[in-house]
Amino acid sequence: MTELVAKKLNLEHEMVLCSSTGIIGRQLPMEKIEAGVAAIELSKDKGNAFAEAIMTTDTHPKRIALEFQIEGRTVRLGGVTKGAGMIYPNMATMLSYLTTDAAITHEWMKTEVKAAVDDSFNMISVDGDMSTNDTCILFANGLAGNTSIDAGHPEAEIFRQALRYVTQYLAREMARDGEGATKLMIVHVNGARDKADAVKAARAITLSPLWQCALAGGDPNWGRISAALGASGCALDQARYDISIGDVQVMKHGLAAQYDQEAARQAMAGNEVTVTIDLHLGEDKATAWGCDLTHGYIDENTLYTR
């Protein structure tokens, strides 16, 4: 497949990368692919068409583009991605493509993309099912004409922040558009002993089917958050941790807090629900994104290969 594309576009073979999604174990329909590759036309204004072309069970395209200044020059960073099931990236059927015209050293780019992916795509879950072919690729062609960015570049932080913004935006939108999802779940864990614990705790909440069902029903059943937190294996002091849903603190010092039931229901009513956990054990924190579990997920996945 890469050979066909390289030949069509007069590129070096190594310049073409291949991504895949679909039913595992089925041979790809090479006839269709050959015809498709033969019909490729490069175009400056077809980014949106690409974002739509890669959709599978996604309900809408996910894309973003930023412009910012480095060395007084306008630099662009764009990204498109697709979800929407078998999503529990540890780098999954998540395919994500980033492009920039910034000049960046290869070494610094590898470091920064890995770090940005860890805090974005690797922090989302739709169903806890890790895919066989998660992909995130950043293409940088250097056309902005800046001095190549590395760790020592005085404006490296600007690119880093842009990369973080783009990857976290795309990750969040992927979680929001999970198969059958009606609500985005945002989980902040603060005060963790270390970063690994913060990640473990935050992801565990997004992974709980029981809490995902409660979310679907708008039911502030925080015991399920607490149970998932305990089962996560993160360091936990039973007498210290706090849990809030939106602005409503439902657990204080590891026990049921006094709170207004109606306010808690209101905090669950919108299409974005935030859970904030403070472990009060250290300074580390993490944010994970997930979604609710609905009939829609099941309907999309019971007869997939038929």
**Residues acting as catalytic residues:** 93
Q: Does 94 bind its own copies (CB under 8 A)?
A: no
Q: Please report, as residue ranges, which positions from 271 to 300 form the binding site for its own copies (by CB under 8 A).
A: 293-295, 297-298
Per DSSP, the residues of 99-116 read EE-S-B-HHHHHHHHHHH
CA–CA dist 79, 65 (Å, integer):
6
Q: Which of 188, 230, 252, 263 binds its own copies (CB under 8 A)?
A: 230
Q: Does 129 bind its own copies (CB under 8 A)?
A: yes
Q: Does 217 bind its own copies (CB under 8 A)?
A: yes
Q: Edge-to-edge strand order for the sheet containing 184-192?
A: 255-256, 248-252, 242-245, 272-278, 184-192, 284-291
The residues, any chain, with a CB within 8 Å of residue 239's CB and separated by 6 or more, are 253, 254
Q: Which of 158, 213, 235, 263 binds its own copies (CB under 8 A)?
A: 213
The residues, any chain, with a CB within 8 Å of residue 186's CB and separated by 6 or more, are 172, 272, 273, 274, 275, 287, 288, 289
For residue 268, how many other CB atoms are within 10 A of its CB? 19
Q: How far apart are the first and last CA of the chain?
A: 26
Q: Which of 248, 238, 249 is nearest to 279 (CA)?
A: 238
Q: Does 210 bind its own copies (CB under 8 A)?
A: yes
Q: Does 145 bind its own copies (CB under 8 A)?
A: no
Q: What are phi and psi of 256, to 5 degrees?
A: -55, 130
CA–CA dist 181, 172 (Å, integer):
13
Q: Which of 189, 272, 265 is nearest to 234 (CA)?
A: 189
- Give the tokens for residue 217: 């029903």
Q: Does 131 bind its own copies (CB under 8 A)?
A: yes
Tell the smallest beta-carbon distance from residue 36 to its own copies (Å).
Answer: 23
Q: Does 36 bind its own copies (CB under 8 A)?
A: no
Tell the smallest beta-carbon distance from residue 296 to its own copies (Å).
Answer: 10
Q: Please report, as residue ranges, which positions from 52 to 71 form the binding site for its own copies (by CB under 8 A).
A: none
Q: Does 115 bind its own copies (CB under 8 A)?
A: no
Q: Which of 10, 43, 258, 302 binds its own copies (CB under 8 A)?
A: 302
Tell the smallest beta-carbon distance from residue 210 to its own copies (Å).
Answer: 5
Count of residues that interact with its own copies, criterion CB under 8 A: 46
Q: Which of 82, 172, 224, 285 binds its own copies (CB under 8 A)?
A: 224
Stretch of 53-61, 127-135, 142-150, 187-195 contacting its own copies, by CB under 8 A? 127-135
Residues that bind its own copies (CB under 8 A): 23-26, 85-86, 88, 90, 127-132, 207-210, 213-214, 216-217, 219-224, 226-228, 230-231, 251, 256, 293-295, 297-298, 301-306
